[in-house]
Structure 1
Amino acid sequence: MTKTPPSQVRAAWRAALCSALVAGLLAACGSGHEDLRQRAGTDHYADGRFHNLDRDFALPDTSDVLAFQWSRLTRHMPAPTTDITPLVPDLGWLQGNRAEPSATWIGHATVLVQIAGLNVLTDPQFSQRASPVQWMGPKRLVPPAMSVAELPDIDVVLISHSHFDHLDEGSIRALAAKGDPLFLVPLGLEPLLREWGAHRVQALDWNEQTAVTGRHGVVKFDCVPARHWSRRGLFDRDRALWAGWMMSGPDFRVYFAGDTGWDESLFNALGERFAPVDMALLPVGAYEPRDFMRNQHINPAEAVKVFQALGARRGLGIHWATFDLSDEAPDAPRRVLPAALLAAGLPENAIALTRPGETLRPRAPVSIDLRGKSPRYPKRQWAKGEPR
């Protein structure tokens, strides 16, 4: 193993510290203020911070975090690569579809969900980096399958939590400028989104619900518990809530997990309340090393457990192959997830691993050409002026 030169190590640490300081300054200057004492449930909010339902939840302490980051900085590891390239989505079909439920993976945790005539977008992240600045931080390995400009008119945007790979300022500003979607967020994030130009923002606590009328009926949006945490800067740990979302149309139900660790009682309770789920959008990446990640990210085997607890009929794997956030290879789920499904007695494609741009149509009567008919080139390049 080749030892990293000390000068490179010092440079990497300076870059990491600079990024953290910038994040802290941005959070301190623009996070807004919201009195949550009258809104938040007492079972998960105390002393100005949110907590998981499992009070034994614990993230690695500061020394573990520093050790993890030091290990990633100093190991002589090849640059992460993936052979995954986006498909050209059928933009014409997506623009016109108002009747058939579908899910199109754009990249990372960003999915275009079509349900009851509504276009719903989850955790929009269209930027080159998952970072408070676009000159430093985790860089995309795979471009998004479509740009904000190419999206159909978005009715609802769902945000799961505040981490930079799930809540991106440039993407929110671009969506707010393009139309007037309703942003549904967990408690504590409403001031930040309004600061970024979002006009219609509704913050929900766990187990609160709102409804939006689509062309083919009412869709109920339930903010549901997750096992995670939140932070954007140095001093705002757990000041905003994290959550999953359940979307229930007249005859189709979709679960979006956001980020979560495995919690048997939590997911059994969700299953008792919502099963069966027609489509589960489940994170399957960023799970190694296990002792560091287990409380905050499920691995593929645990994604299968969530799938089973919800009585899910179909699944879509998300949160993989986009950013290098952990120790497993970005495309490791391609190998690990099918094996976990077979071990659980399920078809190896019960939770699909698609290429970005591919549309899952659970009710499509025949197989379709998923490459679509868009005149765009399948290989996109970043263009000057695109959302950050």
Structure 2
Amino acid sequence: MTQQSESTTSPPAQEGDVPAALSPLAPDTAPRPLGEHRTWPRSFHDRLTAPLPDLKSMARFAREGSIRPGREGLADIPRLPYAPGPLPRVDARTVAVSWAGHASWVVRIGGLTVLTDPVWSRRILGTPARVTPVGIPWSALPPVDAVVISHNHYDHLDAPTLRRLPRDTPVFVPAGLARWFRRRRFTRVTELDWWEAAELDGVRFDFVPSHHWSKRTLTDTCRSLWGGWVLTAPDGHRLYFAGDTGYGHWFTHIGRRHPGIDLALLPIGAYDPRWWLSDVHCDPEEAVRAAQDLGARRMAPMHWATFVLSAEPVLEPLTRVRAAWEKAGLERDDLWDLPVGGSRVLD
């Protein structure tokens, strides 16, 4: 989601400023208890890796008006890749991913069905309607065993979609966000800090840092944390879901802490203009670099072809990520550039 107005800025957090318990070099901790109630600081501003926009940058953004692509950039909407198909059959030894659109995936891992940042709504607050339909009908989903949320921006935390879930669905969220779910009567909410983990039916859920921020109302800027998730099956299969992030040092640390990532789900869209969005959204070339920093064997692009959130032409993220992947000398079969509704299986 694009940055919003915030008059108070914080200096970027430096690696040396990270508390010892959050250090990327700290040993892996035992899983936290599921559903525990915890107390958090009032603000997570100290976790920012870039300042939030000030009044000067807001004025420049308003003056330039680079919010949406021009007519030519929107002309390719009918050509956006959309190919809904049935969900693949899997067992507990199989990892499969199916892209519903934007950052919403149906992940099958370790015998569980996990939804990432589920947004099945046609429209989100402050944004034009979807330019591609949801790739997987809600009625086609198997029982959902868990949900992971990366942060609280509206294009990643969608209340109408979450209302469709049974209230006893296990939900894994960033620190400070459990209250939002408990107010909506979810009963199995586990909130984690960076580098913490929880476990469900043998699958480990590790919450890892990202270069982003959080805000949902006028008064809650950075009151909850933001990040990505590493899911590890009992047999060692490992998947990384980045959520929403800019490019930066965290990818290398995540790869060191979680070696052998089989598949990285990485955002490639909502990046133009760069002076405004580079701190919080990867462009396609940076996403490929992030996959390499992670040591991931495969990459699946996301966060494009669904909502028009910024000024780049709608098909440009796909053409640029394919070119960057080829330029990096990586195997073409390891770029899982799925259409909305598409699936791939990792045996």
Fold agreement, TM-score > 0.5: yes
C-alpha deviations, 1:256-290, integer Å up to 9, x for none?
A: 000111112x2211111112200100001111111
CA deviation map 1:294-326 (0-9, x unaligned): 100111111111111111111110100111111
Per-residue CA shift, 1:182-229, capped at 9, x if unaligned? 10000111111122232211111111110011xxxx111101111100
Residues 1:192 and 2:166 aligned together:
no
Q: Is the 8 A contact 2:22 2:194 kept in 1?
A: no
Q: Is the 8 A contact 1:323 1:330 kept in 2?
A: no
Identity of aligned residues (%): 37
What residue ranges of structure 1 are gaps of 5+ in the alignment?
A: 1-19, 21-39, 364-388
Distance 2:67 2:303 in 1: 25
Q: Which amino acid aligns with 2:260?
A: P
The answer to whether the 8 A contact 1:102-1:362 is kept is: yes
Counterpart residue identity of residue 188, structure 2? R
Letter in 1 for 2:307: F
Which residue does the alignment assign to 1:27?
none
Counterpart of 2:236 in structure 1: which amino acid?
A: D
> How far off is 1:130 after superposition?
2.0
Q: SS at the partner of 1:352? A: coil
Note closer, same or farther for the CA distance 1:98–1:66 as it changes in structure 2 (3 Å cut): farther
Residue 271 (1) aligns with residue 255 (2): yes
Give the secondary structure class of the aligned counterpart of 2:266. strand
Q: Secondary structure at the match of 2:132?
A: coil
Could you tell me which amino acid in structure 2 is paired with residue 324 of structure 1?
V
Partner residue of 1:340?
Answer: 324
Q: Could you tell me which amino acid in structure 2 is paired with residue 204 of structure 1?
A: L
- How far off is 1:137 after superposition? 2.9
CA distance in 2, matches of 1:263, 1:200: 33
Shift of 1:348: 4.0
2:244 alignment partner, one of 226, 241, 259: 259
2: CA distance, partners of 1:359 / 1:76: 29
The answer to whether structure 1 residue 361 and structure 2 residue 345 are counterparts is yes
In the alignment, what sits opposite 1:28? none
Partner of 2:200: 212
1:381 aligns to what? none
Instruction: State the number of aligned residues.
Output: 312
Structure 1 pair 324/305, CA: closer, same or farther in 2 (3 Å)? same
TM superposition shift of 1:146:
1.8
Please say which structure displays the higher CA radius of gyration.
1
CA offset at residue 291 of structure 1? 1.0
After superposing the two structures, state which structure 1 stretch, 340-349 or 243-252, moved more: 340-349
Task: State the distance in 2 between where 1:268 and 1:165 align.
Answer: 26
CA shift for structure 1 position 173: 0.8
Matches within 5 A, 1:154-233: 154-176=144-166, 180-213=168-201, 218-233=202-217
Confirm whether residue 137 of structure 1 aligns to residue 133 of structure 2. Answer: no
Distance 1:130 1:294 in 2: 23
Contact 1:157 1:183 in 2 (8 A): yes
Of 44, 49, 55, 1:62 maps to 55
The amino acid of 2:51's aligned partner reads A
Give the CA RMSD over aligned residues: 2.7
Q: What is the alpha-carbon distance in structure 1 between the residues aligned to residue 123 and residue 334 of structure 2?
A: 31
| Paired AA for residue 113 in structure 2 | N
Structure 2, unaligned runs of 5 or more: 5-19, 24-38
* Structure 1 pair 267–332 and aligned structure 2 pair: CA distance change class (3 A): same
Q: Which moved more, 1:59-68 or 1:141-150?
A: 59-68
Alignment of 1:5-20 (within 5 A): none
Q: Give 1:122's match in structure 2, choosing from 116, 119, 123.
A: 116
1:88 is aligned with what amino acid?
P
Contact 1:129 1:139 survives alignment (8 Å): yes
Q: Which amino acid aligns with 1:166?
A: H
Aligned to 1:380: none
Quick one: which amino acid aligns to residue 59 of structure 1? L
Bigger drift between 234-243 and 82-91 goes to 82-91
1:51 paired to 2:51:
no
How far off its partner does 1:332 sit? 1.1
**Residue pair 1:172, 1:196 contacting (<8 A) in 2 also:** no
TM-score by length of 2: 0.82
| Contact map agreement 1:206 1:224 (CA 8 A) in 2 | yes
Q: Which residue of the partner structure matches residue 87 of structure 1?
A: 83
Q: Following the alignment from structure 2 to structure 1, what is the Cα–Cα distance between the partners of residues 223 and 181?
A: 15
Distance in 1 (alpha carbons) for counterparts of 2:68 and 2:136: 34
Q: Does 1:103 pair with 2:82?
A: no
Query: C-alpha displacement at 1:114, in angstroms?
Result: 0.5
Quick one: structure 1 residues 350 and 65, their matched pair in 2 at CA, closer, same or farther if it must change by over 3 Å? farther
Cα 1:268/1:288, change in 2 over 3 Å = same
Structure 2 residue matching 1:361: 3-state secondary structure:
strand
Q: Is the 8 A contact 2:68 2:311 kept in 1?
A: no
Q: What CA distance in whole angstroms lies between the structure 1 residues aligned with 2:203 and 2:275?
A: 38
In 2 relative to 1, CA 347–196 (structure 1 residues): closer, same or farther, beyond 3 Å?
Answer: same
> Alpha-carbon deviation of 1:58?
1.6
- Secondary structure at the aligned position of 1:337 is classed as helix
**How far does residue 119 in structure 1 lie from its aligned partner after superposition?**
0.4
Match of 1:243 in 2: 227
